[in-house]
Chains A and B, each alone.
Chain A
C-alpha cells in the first residue's frame, strides 16, 4: 500500500513559474525524501528532511514538513524546461530495527511539465 500520496497528480506550468507539489502520509516517519524521475530513467534523490526538521533548502528546491498534519511540500522556484519530470515523495519509517528503517515507501508521483 502507498504511504505517500502526492497532489496534484499532474502539473503544467510556464518556464520561470514556481511549481508546488504536496505529499501526505499515514504513519509516523523518521524521514521524508523527494526524488525526481526523468522519462524512462531511474529515480534521482533530491532532498531528505528528517522528522525533527521543518524546512530545508537545496538550490531552487524548498521542502517543508509538518508532522502534525503528516504532510510535506516540495517547491521548485523559477522552473526550467529541464525540470520536466515526475517527482516522488518517499517516507522512511520510525522503527526499532535498523534494516527495516532503511526501507522507503513511495507515493504515486506528480508529473510536472514545464513549458518553454
Chain B
C-alpha cells in the first residue's frame, strides 16, 4: 500500500531557528510536493520536485527552501523560522504521467514561538 511518512506529527520551534521537515515516500514516485494548510485558505503549494535535485517554486515559496537528494525523500527547510510560519504542513507524492492522484502524509503541525 502507498505510504508517505512525515517525520513529526507535532513540532515546536523558536523564532529564528532553522527548521527541517522531512518526508519519505515508498512508492517510487517522481513528484513530491510541500503544502501548508491554514484555516480559510485551503492548501497552498510551497514547492514541488519532479525529479532528484529538481525543484520548482509553488505559490508561496518565500521563507522556505527544499532539498531532494534522493528520489524517496523531500525536505522542507525554514531558513529562519517566523511566527507567521506556524501552520499545518502536508507532504504529497505522485507519479508523473497525466492525471495522477496525490498521496499525502498525515501532516506536521508546526508551532513557532
Contact = CB atoms under 8 A, between A and B. Distances in A.
B111 to A, nearest CB: 14
Contact of B99 (A40, A50, A99, A106): A50
Given A88-B42, A102-B100, A109-B42, A42 B106 contact: yes
Given A88-B43, A102-B50, A106-B42, A45 B96 contact: no
Given A103-B45, A107-B42, A42 B99 contact: no
Interface residues of B, number: 31
Contacts of A109: 42
Contacts of B99: 30-31, 48, 50, 92
A99 B31 contact: yes
Given A88-B43, A99-B96, A103-B45, A42 B31 contact: no
Contacts of B107: 40-42
